[in-house]
Amino acid sequence: MTIGDPSVVKEWTFAGDVARAIVTLVHQDTVQEAVIGSGEGHSVEEWLECCFGLVGKAWRDHVDLIPGFSPEYTRLVSQPARLRSLGWSPMVDFQTLAAMMMCRE
């Protein structure tokens, strides 16, 4: 596997939590726009460490970095304040999501 910059911070949100957020929005009496996401950022490196750690491997032994890669952004994380004000919050955290994706749940 080859990737760009592992220091880029992204949002990792379980699809089931996204679906619950959509249901929360649909059940409002008035139409509201809201950003759907956990609002919690983790670097790609953190994700790799978590996932590879679950299977007892070091990610650097299995992932190559693209030399000289320059990302379009260094952080891509939502601000879900409106959605949270409606009572929604994610139920699946970062480590649990990694375990689910690695079939280690």
Supply the DSSP symbol for 75.
E
Per-residue pLDDT tens for 47-93? 999 999 999 999 999 999 999 999 999 999 999 999 999 999 999 99
Q: Cα-flanking dihedrals φ and ψ of residue 47, to 5°?
A: -60, -45
Predicted TM-score of the model (pTM): 0.88
With tokens 């070091």, the residue in question is 58
How is residue 57 written in tokens? 């491997």
Burial 83-92 (b: 16+ CB within 10 A, else e): bbeeebebeb
Question: How far is residue 60 from each of residues 25, 26, 30, 64, measured CA to CA in Å?
Answer: 41, 43, 49, 7
Give the up-direction half-sphere exposure of residue 62: CA atoms within 13 A in the CB hemisphere: 11
Q: What is the pLDDT of residues 8-58, one digit of tens each?
A: 999 999 999 999 999 999 999 998 889 999 999 999 999 999 999 999 999
